Amino acid sequence: MSELPALDEPRKSSHFYMGLAFFICLLVLLVFGLVKLNAWLEDEQQAPVQDIIVSGDRMFIDDRQIETLIKQSQPGSFFKLDVNQTHQTVEAMPWVYRASVRKRWPSGLEIFVVEQQPVAIWNGDMLLNQYGDAFDAQISSADLNSKITLPNLYGPGGSEQTALQGYRNMQSLLETSNLYIVEMFLSERFAWNVQLNNGIKLNLGRTEFIDRLQRFVDLLPLISQQDRQVEYVDLRYDTGLAVGWKTLDKAA
């Protein structure tokens, strides 16, 4: 009877090694499955981003450009797509002011954009939005003619918001006379010069430019009664103004 425990030793050893082998096989299969799953997730053909839906009021944003840009910057699968990076990519586009991005199961991407609203051309090669922020975007002459009319504003760097606010204040005053500003120049010393749609150039100086512009509006009916065409009006006086008349050659 004392020899029976010795007979159970090979059985216990056999069960132990069988269990160990099973565990190792299970572990190998698990690792292999994780590797295959990761490869499948990274494979765009297995789980591509199929639908990119862009929403929001937009006039200049090209939806196809957004889709192309996302696929170039995020070439992986739907599961590997980085929403934060995609958000940064979309908001970096010139015509996008703000954007939100979220995934839509199982293979879609929803993008809501707030488009830049151009209100002026800044220094000939930039645009200003409604907040006075300059942004680098191209706008064709066809768009300007058919979609929107923008004044040309010029000024030193960093004066964008000052220039835009001054333009708005002056334009609000001119609207009562059916006039609008075509070009406005703000000098390094912050002196204001504007050109109106009727061709008249106004020199308003540095201070009290709104009061001086009001003086021009008040005297415009009197000036318009003259037989000669006005070239410029200098309003840098405490009272009154100086009028420059076009010569016959210029008037012709």
- pLDDT tens, 137-187? 988 776 666 667 899 999 999 999 999 999 999 999 999 899 999 999 999
Please tell me whether residue 101 adopts helix, strand or coil conformation. Answer: strand
Q: Does a cis peptide bond (omega within 30 degrees of 0) precede residue 106?
A: yes
- The pLDDT, as a whole number, for residue 79 is 78
* Strand order through the sheet with 192-196: 134-135, 126-128, 120-122, 152-154, 181-186, 192-196, 201-205, 230-234, 242-245
- The pLDDT, as a whole number, for residue 140 is 75
Write the CB contacts of 195 (distance below 8 Å, at least 6 apart in sequence): 181, 182, 183, 184, 201, 202
pLDDT above 80 (res 252):
no
- The pLDDT, as a whole number, for residue 40 is 55
pLDDT above 60 (res 7):
no
Beta-carbon count within 10 A of 183 CB:
15
CA-to-CA distance for 77 and 79, rounded, in angstroms? 5
Mean per-residue pLDDT of the chain: 86
CA-to-CA distance for 252 and 241, rounded, in angstroms? 25
Closest CA to 49 of 29, 25, 28, 69: 69
- The pLDDT, as a whole number, for residue 173 is 96
Place of tokens 């540095």: 206
Question: What burial class does residue 31 get, using C-beta atoms within 10 Å of its C-beta: 0-12 exposed, 13-18 middle, 19+ buried?
Answer: exposed
- The pLDDT, as a whole number, for residue 240 is 86
pTM, rounded to two decimals:
0.77
CB distance 168 to 153 below 8 Å: no
| Segment 199-216 mean pLDDT | 96
- The pLDDT, as a whole number, for residue 38 is 67
Could you write out the DSSP letters of every residue in 215-252? Answer: HHHHHHHHHHTSSSPEEEEE--SSS--EEEEPPHHHH-
Token pair recorded at residue 117: 């609203």
**% residues pLDDT > 90 (the chain):** 61
Domain with CATH 3.10.20.310 in the chain: 51-115
Of 145 and 136, the one with more pLDDT: 136
- The pLDDT, as a whole number, for residue 125 is 92
- The pLDDT, as a whole number, for residue 1 is 46
Among the ranges given (75-84, 131-140, 159-168, 207-216), the one the predictor scored with the smallest mean pLDDT: 75-84
Place of tokens 């106004």: 202
Which of 12-26, 41-55, 237-251 has the highest average model confidence (pLDDT)?
Answer: 237-251
Work out whether strand 134-135 and strand 230-234 pair parallel, antiparallel, or are unpaired.
unpaired
What CATH topology corresponds to 51-115?
Ubiquitin-like (UB roll) (3.10.20)
Domain with CATH 3.40.50.11690 in the chain: 120-251
CATH class of 120-251: alpha beta
